[in-house]
Amino acid sequence: MAFHDLVFGIIFFIQTGVGVLGNFFLLCLYAITFLTGHRLKPIDSILVHLALSNFIVLIIKGIPQTMLALGLKIFLDNFACKFIIYIHRVARSLSLTFTCLLSVFQMITISSFTWFKLSGLKNKLPKNIVTFCLFSWILCLLMNIYMFANIQNFRENSNNTRIWHMGFCLGFTSGSFKAILLVITFSIPDFLCVGCMVMASGYLVLFLHRHHQVVQHIHSSSFIPRTSPETRATHTILVLVSTYVSFNSINSIMVIYLFQFEKYHQWLMTTSAFLAACFPAISPFVLIFHDSRILHLYYSTLGKDKLPNSSS
């Protein structure tokens, strides 16, 4: 085994292990909170689905990628190979969808737009957030069914197809035009979601700017300002969106570059896999350390009413 393979294997192992534990902690925390009779907010429903999708991404791709980097053999038949890539694609799409839904939900929640109030969207959305989440699962499952027909095991080869190496599986398309069309088709929903996130994040930034101006005014009036839950949640969501867009933008550029070549570039492919798993691994800790509600939920499950050293 080459030294750089060992290094990548250790990095993938740490990334997968830490990310899985972080998302599992959030899932257990929300499950215990729900089972003990504490009421979850509508935004918590989105966070549960986000943590679950990130958990699946890390398990379904992180473990095989770690084994591959460490030189361990992966025995997958055609169906297993298709299934892993399909589930990974679904979970990745869901992670993007729920991050987008999170930012849009927060924008509508704090928005003062008259249209949102007149249409009733501001009141209807929290009540139907679970329905939106379930619809997202169904939509992503259906949209990625084509993966079953497009992915084959690396032991099955063809001289008349374009090959895209994925480490332990190969992607097959029947021609250059079809390959480009496939990439564009599967990229359209991603671009739409990222566009919605950027638009919503822009509004959230304006909200925080106005809030900062109000705080400065209160400071000048010698009052002690107190950060509202909406402001803290908005800041957390902005950090999440910024993290996703940053890693996804770099990874997307790398994937487009890789797709131009039929030859397998192991170092670039491994780096792309690492970047793709960064957001699922980092996001639970962004929520834990930036959103005080998570810590309040944790201490409430322990029977404590407030955080240690918090003022009454």
21-44: per-residue pLDDT in tens?
999 999 998 888 888 877 778 888
Segment among 205-209, 220-224, 273-277, 298-302 with least mean pLDDT: 220-224
For 163, phi then psi, to 5°, come to -110, 135
pLDDT of residue 160: 45
> Higher model confidence: residue 61 or residue 209?
61
Question: 211 pLDDT exceeds 60?
Answer: yes
Segment among 3-17, 34-48, 73-87, 223-237 with least mean pLDDT: 223-237
pLDDT, averaged across the chain: 77
The band of 209, judged by pLDDT with boundaries at 50, 70 and 90, is confident
The band of 153, judged by pLDDT with boundaries at 50, 70 and 90, is very low
The band of 167, judged by pLDDT with boundaries at 50, 70 and 90, is low
> Higher model confidence: residue 218 or residue 83?
83
How far does CA 42 lie from the centroid of its chain? 18
Residues 144/85, Cβ–Cβ less than 8 Å: no
Question: 204 pLDDT exceeds 80?
Answer: yes
Distance CA 235, CA 208 (A): 8
Distance CA 276, CA 273 (A): 5
| Mean pLDDT to the nearest integer, 133-154 | 77
Domain extent listing, the chain: 3-301
Residues 42/126, Cβ–Cβ less than 8 Å: yes
The band of 293, judged by pLDDT with boundaries at 50, 70 and 90, is low
Question: 311 pLDDT exceeds 60?
Answer: no
**What number does CATH give the domain 3-301?**
1.20.1070.10
Q: Are strands 162-165 and 151-153 parallel, antiparallel or unpaired?
A: unpaired
Within a 10 A sphere around the Cβ of 307, how many other Cβ atoms? 12
- Convert the pLDDT of each residue in 107-126 to its tens digit: 888 877 666 665 667 777 77
Distance CA 152, CA 156 (A): 7
Question: 217 pLDDT exceeds 60?
Answer: no
Within a 10 A sphere around the Cβ of 292, how many other Cβ atoms? 16
Q: How far lies 96's CA from each of 14, 18, 85, 246, in Å? A: 23, 20, 17, 13
pLDDT of residue 83: 84
pLDDT of residue 154: 45
- Convert the pLDDT of each residue in 83-92 to its tens digit: 888 898 899 9
pLDDT of residue 108: 84
Q: What is the percent of the chain with per-residue pLDDT over 90, rounded to a whole number? A: 22
- Convert the pLDDT of each residue in 50-80 to its tens digit: 999 999 999 988 888 888 777 777 667 777 7
